Amino acid sequence: MKSENNSFAQFMNLVNADVAKYLANQPDGKYADYRFWVKAIILLLSWITLYLFVILSNPGLTWSYIAAILWGLTSMLIVLNIGHDAVHDSVSSDKRINKLLGCTFNIVGGNSYSWMLQHVQSHHPHTNVKGKDFDFDLDPIFRFSPLHKWRMNYRWQHIYFIFIYPLFSLIIICITDFRILSQCADKKYTLWHPLKEWLILIASKLLYFSLVFIIPIYIGHFSLTHALIAFLTINLINGLLLAILFMPSHYFSGSFFYDDNNSTTQINWHERQIRSTLDFNIGGDKGAYTIGAINLGIAHHIFPNFCHIHYPSVANIIRARAKEFQIPLQELSFPQALNSHYLLLKQLSKP
């Protein structure tokens, strides 16, 4: 094990050196460049334009629903491309800019503070570690690792997941943000939260529900039924897309899982990230650019404070060095990644 650790340490030293050379040729280093800002402006302007089109132009129900769905998809892309990076402090060296852009979570129904707790403080340092990774503990709905106690309902999880995954966006908006804040003490991350964060959480939820219900009804002249149908359609589509994009990244056949009380958590941190993370190809570099490179999880987990526009290049560096050191990387096509996730659900449906 010692020689293996030394080999892996050498691998990471060379990866870090290669990445440092790459960043030396980037005008903004690890932070965002024009590619990020062009995309961010397009997404935010599209989000505003689509909303005003639905509310003010009275285009009729068919076009209203189409525009509403596009608005919802744009909201999801804002989270993946802007909010995610901002919460990681990877957009700019100026934390005020990151904090401001992190507020994009709040306007689309989420909360930047709870996402920081769940994703940055919990998931990234403790990926796939039972008792530490918020994302990992979905008991009693799903069993994602053999470390979790088997329950009778898990027998059908590879069947009912298709009905639960579309609910993810609704669960995040209505439940998860509140649950994260309430469970931080149990996870021993923080015992209390500033009052202003609770107030922002509540205010942001009121803002979002005003955008999807109150304003369309009282200004856009939509009925409550139409507003509710649009709201559910948007979030069911987004929920399914978010689930199939995020779930295979760590919960795939062959992934590694760790117990917080187990000595395996003491192995090299970078090695743990690679063993428990899957990359998948979804349209090449253009596809990665579109979805904030969340499909390149290995690069993101090893360098979590990099703007996502750098991950295709960083992933190539990691890939080349891994081949040199014969370090296996989990890399699949998107359909293969989905199948691998399904196989894990089916495998863990049994005691």
> With bands split at pLDDT 50, 70 and 90, how would you rate the model's confidence at 184?
low
Better pLDDT: 81 or 6:
81
Instruction: Please state, in angstroms and rounded to a whole number, the distance separating the CA atoms of residues 249 and 296.
Output: 9
Query: What is the Cα–Cα distance from 189 to 134, expressed in whole angstroms?
Result: 11
Global pTM?
A: 0.93
How confident is the model at residue 261, as a pLDDT?
A: 61
d(CA 313, CA 299): 9
Q: What is the pLDDT of residues 111-161, one digit of tens each?
A: 999 999 889 988 999 999 988 888 887 888 999 999 999 999 999 999 999
User: Taking phi first (over 0 means left), then psi (-120 to 50 degrees means alpha), and beta for anything else, what does residue 292 get?
Assistant: left
So what's the pLDDT on residue 134?
Answer: 82
Q: H or E stretch including 332? A: strand 330-333
In order, the DSSP letters of 169-200 are HHHIIIIIHHHHHHHHHHHTS-S---HHHHHH
The helix/strand/coil state of 130 is strand
Q: Residue 4's pLDDT band (boundaries 50, 70, 90)?
A: low
pLDDT band at 191 (very low <50, low <70, confident <90, very high): low
pLDDT tens digits for range 80-119? 999 999 999 999 999 999 999 999 999 999 999 999 988 9
What's at 231, amino acid-wise? F
Q: Supply the DSSP symbol for 282.
A: S
Domain that holds residue 273: 2-347
Q: What is the mean pLDDT of residues 5-22?
A: 92
How confident is the prediction for the chain on average, in pLDDT? Answer: 92
Predicted pLDDT at 137: 79
Is the pLDDT confidence value at 213 over 80?
yes
**6 pLDDT band (50/70/90 cuts)?**
confident
Q: How does residue 2 score in pLDDT terms, banded at 50, 70 and 90? A: very low
Strands 258-259 and 129-130: what pairing?
parallel
- Number of domains present in the structure of the chain: 1
pLDDT at 185 over 60: no
Q: Tens digits of per-residue pLDDT, 28-56?
A: 999 999 999 999 999 999 999 999 999 99
